Structure 1
Amino acid sequence: MSSPPGPPPDPDDDEWRRRERDTEPIPRDRPDDGPAFGTGPAYSDGPSYAESAGFGREEPRRPWADDPEGYRQPEFSEDELAGLRVDASGMPLGTRRVLPLEDEPTPLVARYLFPTERYRGEWKRHWIHLATPLLVGILATFVLGYLAGFLAGQNVGALTTVAVILWFAVIGWVAWRVADWYYDRFILTNKRVMVVNGIITRQVAMMPLLRVTDMKYEQSPLGRTLNYGTFVLESAGQEQALREVKHLPNPNELYLRVVEEMYEPQAVEARLGKEADEAKADDGA
């Protein structure tokens, strides 16, 4: 049986008051007591020891975790994931990052290839290569046309004829530069890179891929806007006929094409074989 409750404590009892004072909870905040130990900030200022040691610190939000405040798992489009998917042979199913391989060289280029090398493609220089001749032709047309009309009004037939002949000469030079641009080709095979140019006097410069020690391409702000660049090829620090090729179109795709041919020729052959099989299947269907 429990003992009956005793009489209530006497508030005037010194022993009771001492026990009550000793069992009072220690306050956590003491804003009115001044700084702790006389030098540091008050207890309420700054992080606690546990917080400064890293205990109880709130974990940073992870952007990939679902959160009601707007943090969601990132989403990827099908186009972004397509480049990561491969077929059974390991070939990517998505859009290629390089230009499609050419099947056959043009008659202009075929004469410079020997039978055992495989043709990969040929490219004309970007149309910016013709910017100077075209601007000269347009300017000459306006200036000489105005001059010929003015001289004709002054009844100076000889000078008018000279102005017309000069205009024909400028237009002939522009036509020559356009034809030279058309016959100027950058060529890639599985063994070398070549540049063929010239109309009457043909010039053929080449560099074996095995001798290329460094390759880069440069793009000015205008080149980035119009998508052309300059290729620079280095070969063991030696002087070579083919070092700098200006105004090549699609420089990034062309750079990937050359690098792939240099370092992953088996992948190129595998892609060519796959494309040939698909073409035969389509023809059979």
Structure 2
Amino acid sequence: MSYVEKHLIPGESIQYQTKLHWIVMLGHTVIAMALALLAVAIPTVWASLGIKARGHSIPGAVYFGVLVCFAVAGALFFIGILRRNATEMAVTSKRVIVKTGIAERRTVEILLSRIESVAVDEPALGRLLGYGTVIVRGTGGTPEMFEKIYHPLEFREQVQRQIAGWAKPA
């Protein structure tokens, strides 16, 4: 059961849920791939140069370095997946709820009646790939920014629908 489902108040229902766009994993993935390629290249280059150490074509330290590269690559990719999956964003019939993090959790819950405006910032690449930043401003409060949201215009529309009291689209 998700954080949002666990923390619904009586009479509240989830109207829309979204998550972070896959672009948040791009940096993790690129670095992981570079490390994996390095891990493959090290023994290949070592063997092609014909370097021999004590009669062995490739010493154990090189294999250990390869294993470390693969382990770090896997860990970075796993961290990217965790980061993406640890973020929940929902519009309910009464609130906007955003939860990020696992060990260190940050939650933002804004009552729909207290929302003053919802802004969307989409860079050019974000428009092409379907991600952007949603800025929710509550009455008398500071703006809350939610970056790299999957389909930010849909998120804004759902907030506006709930504020206006429109029914969930079929």
**Structure 1 length-normalised TM:** 0.51
- Match of residue 215, structure 1, among 98, 114, 118: 118
Computing the radius of gyration over CA atoms, which structure comes out larger, 1 or 2?
Answer: 1
Cα separation, 2, equivalents of 1:157 and 1:149: 14
Over residues 76-123 of structure 1, what are the superposed CA-to-partner deviations in whole Å (9 max), with x where a residue is unaligned? xxxxxxxxxxxxxxxxxxxxxxxxxxxxxxx21311212232221211
Match of residue 11 from structure 2: 116
Q: Which runs of 5+ in 2 are unaligned?
A: 52-57
The runs of 5 or more residues in structure 1 that have no matched partner are 1-106, 276-285
Q: 2:130 aligns with which of 197, 219, 227?
A: 227
Matched residue of 1:215: which SS? Answer: strand
TM-score, L = length of structure 2: 0.82
The answer on whether the counterparts of 1:188 and 1:258 sit within 8 Å (CA) in structure 2 is: yes
- In structure 2, C-alpha distance between the alignment counterparts of 1:212 and 1:151, rounded to whole Å: 61
One-letter amino acid matched to 2:38: V
Residues of 2 paired with 1:207 and 1:148: CA distance?
54
CA distance in 1, matches of 2:101, 2:43: 34
Residue from 135, 148, 169 that aligns with 1:247: 148
Cα distance in 2 for partners of 1:140, 1:158 equals 17
What letter is aligned with 1:244?
Answer: M
Q: Partner of 2:54 in structure 1? A: none
The SS at the match of 2:96 is strand
SS of the equivalent of 2:146 reads strand
Question: Structure 1 stretch 151-160 or stretch 163-172: which is displaced more?
Answer: 151-160
- Any idea what the Cα deviations from partners look like across 1:157-208, whole Å, max 9, x if unmatched? 2243023213212211211221331231111112211112223443322222
Partner SS state of residue 213, structure 1: strand
User: For residue 28 of structure 2, what is the aligned residue in structure 1?
Assistant: 133
More helix by percentage: 2
Aligned to 2:85: 182
d(CA) in 2 for partners of 1:169, 1:135? 13
Count of residue correspondences:
161
Q: Kindly tell me: are residues 114 and 151 of structure 1, through their superposed partners in 2, closer, same or farther at Cα, counting changes over 3 Å?
A: farther
Q: Percent identity at matched positions?
A: 20
Q: Which residue of 2 aligns with 1:198?
A: 101
Aligned amino acid, residue 211 of structure 1? R
Letter in 2 for 1:219: E
1:255 to 1:159, Cα distance in 2 relative to 1, 3 A? same
Partners of 2:43 and 2:162 in 1: how far apart?
Answer: 56
- Measured after TM superposition, the shift of residue 151 of structure 1 is 4.3
- The correspondence of residues 145-184 of structure 1 with structure 2, limited to 5 A, is 145-151=40-46, 154=51, 155-184=58-87
1:1-285 superposed matches below 5 A: 107-108=1-2, 109-151=4-46, 154=51, 155-236=58-139, 238-239=141-142, 243-262=144-163, 264-265=164-165, 267-268=166-167
- Residues in 2 aligned to 1:232 and 1:222: alpha-carbon distance in whole angstroms: 18
State the Cα RMSD in Å: 2.2
CA contact under 8 A between 1:148 and 1:164: conserved in structure 2?
Answer: no
* Cα distance in structure 2, aligned partners of 1:239 and 1:249: 23
Who is 1:67 aligned against?
Answer: none
Preserved contact between residue 14 and residue 91 of structure 2 (Cα < 8 Å): yes
User: 2:45 is paired with a residue of what secondary structure?
Assistant: helix
- Of Structure 1 and Structure 2, the greater strand share is in 2
